[in-house]
Structure 1
């Protein structure tokens, strides 16, 4: 128990020291991309619908939902966890800032769907009920994971430019701890809510 408390305290200190800035930037960038996706959906509905259809096809092939369209808890949890872990892996590639792509893709999809609902005269309340209950946890995990990936990318890039050694391993170690101690519980709660609660709320409106 004491070890667990110490781990959480250490990761919290690391977050405050190294990640609070990247998380703040990633959060605002994500919000901006959602708005841009929403505007694009309204201004270019044909292209937006094509993107939405492609996304729906990919989702159907991911195994997250069964043939009846019902979300499968474990498949959803593992799919999201792999996506968050990949943000860290992408961060190990210097200069390119690939974790931003994950953040941008998810933000754009949310904005596109919001615009789609509005164009179809479907209540935005229905859209929000389908997103917010689990999104509070899942989007927090997404932004945190993307921020860690961007932080790792900056660490690797700076180490190469300045020919530093021994800086990547401790940074990656802390990020992996946060992935396990913070991100995984958030995704677990999000998957529970999305599987068992969100469908009920979605059908209320």
Structure 2
């Protein structure tokens, strides 16, 4: 299959429907995450404090005077998450949906946590996510959609339900979209560190 044909295949109706379904799971995850905060504030607060203390604070301290360091950390973190999700999705097709909804849940819980502690209002929190979040979520959903379709094709072949060209041959259909995913993650990281704090300043 030529590169142009592969690119057109990636934007087929099935791919767009998978992308839309994953976006629904993402929004559902946000709603569930915010609901979880409302129902179990003490447990969610412990989880959020553990995440901030063990993962976020050390990185912020290390890169406080070096925004390029923080940009690289955000980019590599997103790229690693996307790569793991993609390759595991080739074996477990429903795994990307759990990752996407899980990301949404963390966002929802964080919104409730920040609002409760008066770090920022819920509306301010979500507005602050928009500048970089549009690109980051788009990259995440693209990687997830590719993984789900790739994994689905693999299993149809393994179960002999439909002819399949093989594990790596099926993956090649999505090669043309991989640079776009990398670009979206890089752009999101740059915007998150250099632009979002200017547009929506918030306490670290």
> When the two structures are superposed, what TM-score results if normalisation uses the length of structure 1?
0.83
Q: Give the Cα separation in 1 of the matches to 2:54 and 2:171.
A: 30
Q: CA deviation at 1:36?
A: 0.7
Q: Please, which moves more after superposition, 10-19 or 139-148?
A: 10-19
Note if 1:174 corresponds to 2:170. no
Aligned to 1:77: 75
Quick check: 2:34–2:108 contact (8 Å CA) kept in 1? yes
> When the two structures are superposed, what TM-score results if normalisation uses the length of structure 2?
0.84
What does the per-residue CA deviation read over 1:135-186, in whole Å, with 9 as the maximum and x for residues that have no partner?
0100111111112112122112111111644144343112232122x21111
Aligned to 2:183: 185
2:150 to 141, 149, 152: 152
What does the per-residue CA deviation read over 1:104-140, in whole Å, with 9 as the maximum and x for residues that have no partner?
2211100101111232343223312431110010011
Aligned to 1:105: 102
Q: Which runs of 5+ in 2 are unaligned?
A: none
Note if 1:196 corresponds to 2:188. no
> How many aligned positions are there?
198
The change in CA–CA distance for 1:54 and 1:175 in structure 2 (over 3 A counts) is farther
Structural RMSD (CA)? 2.7
Q: Give the Cα separation in 1 of the matches to 2:61 and 2:145.
A: 28
Q: Give the Cα separation in 2 of the matches to 1:70 and 1:38.
A: 33
Q: Give the Cα separation in 2 of the matches to 1:178 and 1:65.
A: 35
The change in CA–CA distance for 1:62 and 1:104 in structure 2 (over 3 A counts) is farther
Large movers: runs of 4+ above 6 Å: none
Q: Give the Cα separation in 2 of the matches to 1:200 and 1:141.
A: 23
Q: Please, which moves more after superposition, 71-80 or 10-19?
A: 10-19
2:21 to 22, 25, 29: 25
Aligned to 2:47: 51
Q: Give the Cα separation in 1 of the matches to 2:202 and 2:58.
A: 27
The change in CA–CA distance for 1:156 and 1:63 in structure 2 (over 3 A counts) is farther
State the secondary structure of the residue aligned to 1:34: helix
Quick check: 2:100–2:141 contact (8 Å CA) kept in 1? yes
